[in-house]
Amino acid sequence: MAPTEVTPETLVGQLATRAPSTTRVFARHGIDFCCGGGVPLAQACARRELAVDDVIAEIQRELETPTGDVKSWEGAPLPDLIEHILTVYHRPLDEELPRLEAMARKVVSVHGDKDPERLGAMLETVLALKGELEPHMMKEENILFPMILSGQGAMAGGPVHVMRHEHDEAGAMLRRLREVTDDYTPPDGACNTWRALWHGLAELERSLHEHIHLENNVLFPAALDS
């Protein structure tokens, strides 16, 4: 995509699909390009209180920088894309979600009295997100992905609808986490576990945004169209 094609009206999800390196800019500013990907850049920037012209300039700089490591999956064979989603996003979460839960419980039990309301909301949201994602990935792995792999993707409208809805819910939980963690900024004097937790949650957001983007904006449309 030529840099000149990026305007305030360009859809965030479309940009992420056509020029995946732009997702770096989105991740830097907490712009949701997966569930919220159907909105124009101007609207996504307004939601995060960012100047759209500054973000476009940053996107153009990103597009002008040669990168070898951000692959566009648009048009890729679906089995390869599914394998990539499982290896890069699903399997690491098997370990990461329990690790984040344990750290969140520890921070609340040791420091909960320092900010009871927000730390309580953080733990509640981490538990809700884990409770949502674990069965969600199981449904993808046991029902939806096998349908797509066996060539029945065009008939997967029902499961895709359910998965999209669950993605929206996960997206809302990530927004809530960002809110109650001051954009993942640890308070002065936060202990190492607290810092590691905020860092882990920021990473979770980054990887989930990519993961859900690949499913919502690349895999699902291609499968339904197959």
Which residues in this chain contact Fe ion in the complex, by CB under 5 A? 140, 215
> What's the min distance (Å) between Cβ of 215 and Fe ion?
5
Q: Name which of 15 and 82 has its Cβ closer to Fe ion.
A: 82
Q: Name which of 62 and 215 has its Cβ closer to Fe ion.
A: 215
Cα 146 from chain centroid (whole Å): 23
Q: Name which of 32 and 140 has its Cβ closer to Fe ion.
A: 140
> What's the min distance (Å) between Cβ of 7 and Fe ion?
30
The label of the residue with tokens 């999956």 reads: 73
> What's the min distance (Å) between Cβ of 216 and Fe ion?
8
Joined tokens for residue 97:
């979600």
Q: Name which of 140 and 210 has its Cβ closer to Fe ion.
A: 140
Which DSSP letter does residue 74 get?
A: T
* Dihedral sign from CA coordinates of 61, 200, 11, 39: negative
Residue 91, number of CB atoms within 10 A of its CB:
12
Contact (Cβ atoms closer than 8 angstroms) between residue 84 and residue 219 = no
Contact (Cβ atoms closer than 8 angstroms) between residue 37 and residue 12 = yes
> What's the min distance (Å) between Cβ of 93 and Fe ion?
9
The label of the residue with tokens 């029945």 reads: 152
Q: Name which of 25 and 219 has its Cβ closer to Fe ion.
A: 219
Cα 114 from chain centroid (whole Å): 29
> What's the min distance (Å) between Cβ of 185 and Fe ion?
28
